């Protein structure tokens, strides 16, 4: 099986489980940003992919599999709207081009939660240090947030805003496939995920040397900000998010 995984710190426990549990040694694994993984699944260049849930909002376009996801039940910390002015003074929002889910989430929140009529623009690399000024804000995702999270006057955590708006958890990414996968593989797959999620201290120790965060900070982030079980409530949140997207596109 060809497995594609998001290359952010929040997916590190899932990668750790795939690589170290022994359950999936017969699989090939690649790491990429969310948009690339979604494209590989759509183009049949990968079999099981950790994809942004906003990339496939139409029911039955993919099969969501496994008992683990990249979810949140509180602030996510690494998907945020940054600005030097409050919400009511924002006019333009720069969009990080690495994840369609975050782009669609800010559009849902702007329309239904904040009732804001913003102009959205796709950003280029380095925008988080260059283009967020005056009445322009920016949606930043992934590990780059750690470097800028104290730079701007206002930081709006998009997961926290979603929960405030809906009362439901949010799922940023989940495992998806477009072809049948057998129970034997899924059992091994979930066992690998469980192995990684149960080894957060080891994950933090392994990833700390290459991160701007300390081992303790990584462990805190993976423990307090990210919630991995793909629970019924998280699936309800994902389905509600998809319903907003389908109404918008319909």
Residue pLDDT, tens place only, 123-150: 988 898 888 999 999 999 888 899 898 9
At 151 the pLDDT is 93
CB 173 within 8 A of CB 51: yes
At 34 the pLDDT is 78
- pLDDT tens digits for range 157-172: 999 999 999 999 999 9
Give 1's contacts (C-beta < 8 A, 6+ positions apart).
Answer: 24, 26, 27, 28, 47, 48, 181, 185
Mean pLDDT of 2-23: 94
At 182 the pLDDT is 92
CB 174 within 8 A of CB 92: no
HSE-CB at 39 with a 13 A cutoff on CA atoms is 8
Mean pLDDT of 96-122: 91
**To 5 degrees, how large is the angle CA 65–CA 234–CA 150?**
115
Residue 249: pLDDT band with limits 50, 70, 90 = low
Say which range, 39-43, 124-128, 219-223, has the weakest mean pLDDT.
Answer: 124-128
Residue 247: pLDDT band with limits 50, 70, 90 = confident
Residue 173: pLDDT band with limits 50, 70, 90 = very high
Residue 16 has pLDDT above 50, yes or no: yes
Domains, the chain, ordered by start: 2-72+169-249 (3.40.190.10), 79-166 (3.40.190.10)
Per DSSP, the residues of 53-74 read: GGG--STTSSEEEEEEEEEESS
Q: Which residue has the higher pLDDT, 119 or 130?
A: 119
Mean pLDDT for all residues in the chain: 93
Residue 250 has pLDDT above 60, yes or no: no
At 248 the pLDDT is 65
Mean pLDDT of 95-121: 92
HSE-CB at 69 with a 13 A cutoff on CA atoms is 25
Mean pLDDT of 36-60: 90
Residue 80 has pLDDT above 90, yes or no: yes
32: closest CA among 2, 7, 69? 7
């Amino acid at each position: 099986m060809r497995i594609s995984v998001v290359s952010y710190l929040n997916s590190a426990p899932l990668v750790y489980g795939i690589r170290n549990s022994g359950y999936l040694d017969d699989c090939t694994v690649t790491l990429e940003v969310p948009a690339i993984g979604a494209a590989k699944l759509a183009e049949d260049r990968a079999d099981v992919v950790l994809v942004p849930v906003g990339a496939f909002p139409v029911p039955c376009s993919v099969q969501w599999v496994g008992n683990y996801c990249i979810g949140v039940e509180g602030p996510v910390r690494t998907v945020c709207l940054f600005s030097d002015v409050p919400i009511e003074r924002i006019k333009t929002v720069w969009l990080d081009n690495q994840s369609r889910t975050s782009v669609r989430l800010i559009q849902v929140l702007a329309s239904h939660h904040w009732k804001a009529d913003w102009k959205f623009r796709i950003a280029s690399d380095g925008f988080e240090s260059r283009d967020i000024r005056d009445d322009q804000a920016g949606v930043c995702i992934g590990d780059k947030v750690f470097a800028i999270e104290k730079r701007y006057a206002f930081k709006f955590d998009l997961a926290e805003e979603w929960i405030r708006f809906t009362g439901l958890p949010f799922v940023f990414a989940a495992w998806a496939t477009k072809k049948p996968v057998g129970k034997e593989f899924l059992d091994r797959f979930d066992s690998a995920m469980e192995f990684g999620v149960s080894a957060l201290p080891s994950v933090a120790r392994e990833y700390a040397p290459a991160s701007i965060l300390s081992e303790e900070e990584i462990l805190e982030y993976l423990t307090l900000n990210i919630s991995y079980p793909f629970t019924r409530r998280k699936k309800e949140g994902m389905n509600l998010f998809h319903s907003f997207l389908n109404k918008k596109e319909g």
